[in-house]
Amino acid sequence: MTAASDQRHPTQTPAGPGSLPAVPHALLRLIDCCQQRDVSFDTLATLIRQDAALAARVINAAHASSLAQWNHLHDLDRILVVLGLDTIKHIAFTAAVQEFFAQFNQGASALRRRLWRASLSCACSARTLARLSAYPSPEEAYLAGLLHNLGQMAYLQGSPDAYAELLHTPLADAELDARERERFGLSSTQWGAEQAERWAPDSFIGDAIRYQRRAAHALGDAPHLVRLINLARKMSTAPAEDDQLLAAADQLLGLNQDLILQLHEDSATEVNEIARTFGIPLGADHRAAGESEARQALGVRVQGLALTRTVQITSPPGAALWSELLGNLNILFDLPDALAFEFQPRDGKLACIARTASVSPAADALAIHLDGSPSLITQGFETPDNVCLEQASADDAPVVDGQLKRLLSASHLLCLGLQAGSRPLGALVAGLTADNHRRLQSQKPLLKAFTQALVEQLEARESRQQQRAEEQAQWLARNRRLVHEAANPLGAIQNYLQVLSLKLGTDPAVDEQLRFIREEMERVGSILVRMKEPVDVDSGEASLTDVNTLIERLVSLYRASLFASRGIGATLDLAPDLAQVSTDTGALKQILTNLLKNAAEALTDGGEVEVASRHLNVDGHPHIELHVRDNGPGLPPEILSRAFTPVQSTKGKEHSGLGLAIVASLVTRLQGSISCTNQKTGGAEFVIRLPCTLKSQ
C-alpha cells in the first residue's frame, strides 16, 4: 500500500470472530430459548445455524478452549454439546450486551442484514447442492456457506463507514478484492479463509472461502467443496436467469438451467421464511423497520438477565429470608417501603412475615385469604406475569388495600405474586409514589424477570431442603437396621475377647493389644447407639491426648492385622516431644483409623504406608500436623476434586463412599483442617492440622 493511499484510507483492524455482531432478532430468539428450562441442543443448533456471527462466536469459543481438538468443524451439534449449555448462554448474553451497547449505525445495520441474508442464502444453497452432487457432508457445506462472507462482516464491524462505502459501490469481484487489499491489507475472502483454517486445518472450508470469487473456468480440478461453495455464493448474489450463473452451474457441478432456477427459488423461500420467523425486514429497500424495536427488546432482555444473576438468596427460611427478598427489591427498584407475606397452606392465607424498617409494626398483624379476596395481593397471583401495578384508586377499593397504603405511606401499590406453578409461595407488596408508579409501568418486563428469579431461587431452596430431609430419613431408617444387626456380633466379639484374654495368660504386650481392642469395641458400641437418632455428633468430650502414642497403637494394631494380610509395610516419622492435644480422643481415633484403612485398601501387596507428625505454627498459634501417605496409585482427578464429599465408592458394593466425608466432618469438629493431594512420586497424602488446645465452644 502506498503512503498516499494510507493517508486517504488508513488500514483498519477487522473485528475478531468472537465479537462479530449477530442480528438483534436472532439474538432475541437465542436468549429466549436459553432462558427455557428444557431447551434442547437441537433447538440451539438450529438457531445458531441461521446466523453466521453466532456460529463464528461458538466455533471460536470451541477452538479457544482446551476441551477437544476441533478437526471436524462441520459438526456444530458436537461443538455445542462439548461446550455445554452454560457456555452457550454466556456467549448469547455477551453478544446481547455488546449489541445493546454498540453504537447504532443505520447504514451499517442495513448492510449487516444484507450480509446476513447472503450468508444464509449461500448456506441453504450449499447444503442442497451438496446433497444433489453427493458431497459426503452436507452440514459441512452448509457451515462453509454460512461463513463464506465472515471477512466482510468483520470488516464492516471494524470499519463501518469505510467498508460500507465499498459495499455500496458496484464492483466486480476482482476489483472488490483489490480495493479490500488496498484498504485492509487482505481481501475479506483471504481473512475469512485464514480464520477458517485456524479453526479447521484439515478441512477445505478455508479454500472454499478463499476461492469463492474466482471465475468458474479456473476451478476445473478444485476440490468438490471449493466448487460447491463457489456456485452457492454465485446463486446468493446473482439473479436466477443470469447467464454467467447458469454457465457456472454447468461447469462446476454439471447442473442444468431448470434445476438451478428451482434451487434458486427454494433457497429464497427458505431464507424468507427464516427472516419472517425472526421478524427481520428484508424488503427490496432493506428498510430498518422493526430494527429499533428489536434493539429495545434486546435491551430489556439484557437488563432482565442481569437481574436474574443479581438475585441470590442466602438467608435461612423464615423472616430473615423474606427480609432479604425485600432488600433485593429495594436495591434493584428503589422501593424502601415494602412488606413480605408468606403463604400458610394450613390456613390458606398470606401472613405478613417481614417488613422494611420504615413500616409500622402494626403491619405484622395483617393476614389475607387468597380465596375470594378482592385485594390487590390476590390480583398479583391472577395476572399472567404475577406483577400487579394498581391502576387507579377507586371509591369501592378493598379496605385491606387502603390499610396497606396507609401503612406504606403510599398513593399506589405494587404486588409481586410468588408462586411455583399454581402453588403460592408468598407475595411482596411495595408502596409507590406517583412518580414511582409511572417509572415502574415501563419496567414491568424487569419486574417479571425479578419475580421469576425469586421463584426459581425459592424453588431451588425447597428442593434442596426436601432432598436433605429425605436423605436424613433414609439414613435414619438404614442406621436403625444396621444398629440392630450389629448389636449381636458386637456383643459376641466382646465376650470372645474376654475368653481370649484368659487363655493367653499374662503377656504384657498381648494384654495391651487386647485392652486397646476392647476400648475400640466399646467406642463402636457408643457410635452405634448414637446412630439410632438424629442427634448432634459434636457431643464428644475433650481430654488430654498423646497423639504420638495413639498413632503408635493404631499402626501396631494394623501391622498385626490388615497390613500383614496384604503384605503392606508401615513406617512412622513422629516428632519427638510432640505436644499433647486437648481433643476428643475418640474422634481422632476414628480419623486415623479411616485414613489407615483407606490407604490399605488402595495398596497392592508390597505397598507402603507412612504416618508422620510435626510441630507447626499457624497464625501465631501452636498446632500439630499429621501426615498419612501411601505409595499407591493415588486418587483419580474426578474423585480428588471432591474427596471429602459423600459419593458412590469406587471400591465395590461393600463400601459406602462416606469414609473421607466422615473424616472431614470429624476434623472440622476438632476445629482443624484437612487436605488431600496426589504425590509426585505416586500415592495419596492426607494432611491434618489440629490446634494444640481447643477453642471455647
Give me the pLDDT at residue 657, please: 45
Among residues 526, 540, 535, which one has the least CA distance to residue 694?
Answer: 540
User: Binning pLDDT at 50, 70 and 90, where does residue 311 land?
Assistant: low
pLDDT at 598 over 80: yes
Average pLDDT over residues 603-622: 83
Among residues 144, 117, 141, 109, which one has the least CA distance to residue 127?
Answer: 141
pLDDT at 591 over 50: yes
| Mean pLDDT score of the chain | 78
CATH H superfamily, domain 538-691? Histidine kinase-like ATPase, C-terminal domain (3.30.565.10)
**Chain position carrying cell 495419596:** 684
DSSP-based three-state secondary structure for 40? coil
Q: Name the least confident of 76-90, 139-153, 553-567.
A: 76-90
- Measured CA to CA in angstroms, residue 372 lies from 305, 348, 368, 621 at distances of 35, 11, 10, 65
Please report, for the chain, the start and end positions of each structural domain, with discontinuous segments joined by +.
17-278, 312-463, 538-691
23 — phi, psi (to 5°)?
-65, 140
Give me the pLDDT at residue 634, please: 87
Q: Looking at per-residue confidence, does 223 or 31 come out higher? A: 223
CATH code of the domain occupying 17-278:
1.10.3210.10
- How do residues 184-242 score in pLDDT, each as one tens digit? 889 999 999 998 888 777 789 999 999 999 999 999 889 999 999 999 999 988 887 88
Judge if 312-463 and 538-691 fold alike in CATH terms. Answer: no
pLDDT at 536 over 50: no
- Measured CA to CA in angstroms, residue 444 lies from 98, 385, 450 at distances of 23, 9, 10
Residue type, 591: I
In this structure, CATH architecture of domain 312-463: 2-Layer Sandwich (3.30)
Q: Is 174 exposed, middle or buried (0-12, 13-18, 19+ CB in 10 A)?
A: exposed
Among residues 668, 665, 660, which one has the least CA distance to residue 640?
Answer: 660
- If you count them, how many residues does the chain have? 697
Give me the pLDDT at residue 526, please: 62
For the CA atoms of the chain, what is the radius of gyration?
A: 36
Average pLDDT over residues 280-296: 53
pLDDT at 109 over 60: yes
- Measured CA to CA in angstroms, residue 572 lies from 115, 122, 677 at distances of 73, 73, 20
Give me the pLDDT at residue 535, please: 43
Give me the pLDDT at residue 353, please: 93
Counting other chains too, the contacts that 481-485 makes at CB distance below 8 Å and 24 or more residues apart are 482/528, 482/531, 483/528, 483/529, 483/531, 483/532
Percent of the chain with pLDDT over 90: 16
pLDDT at 445 over 80: no
- Measured CA to CA in angstroms, residue 235 lies from 149, 249, 615 at distances of 14, 9, 79
pLDDT at 2 over 50: no
β-strand pairing of 367-369 with 387-389: unpaired
* C-alpha–C-alpha distance, residues 489 and 495, integer Å: 10
Average pLDDT over residues 171-177: 90
Residue 32 gets the label, from left (phi > 0), alpha (psi -120 to 50) or beta, of: alpha
- How do residues 624-670 score in pLDDT, each as one tens digit? 899 999 998 888 887 777 777 655 444 444 443 456 777 888 888 88
Give me the pLDDT at residue 199, please: 79
* C-alpha–C-alpha distance, residues 525 and 475, integer Å: 18
Order across the sheet with 367-369: list the strands. Answer: 367-369, 349-355, 338-344, 423-432, 412-420, 387-389
Give me the pLDDT at residue 661, please: 78
pLDDT at 290 over 60: no
pLDDT at 300 over 80: no
Give me the pLDDT at residue 427, please: 92
- How do residues 312-366 score in pLDDT, each as one tens digit? 676 777 888 888 888 878 867 778 899 999 999 888 889 999 998 889 999 999 9
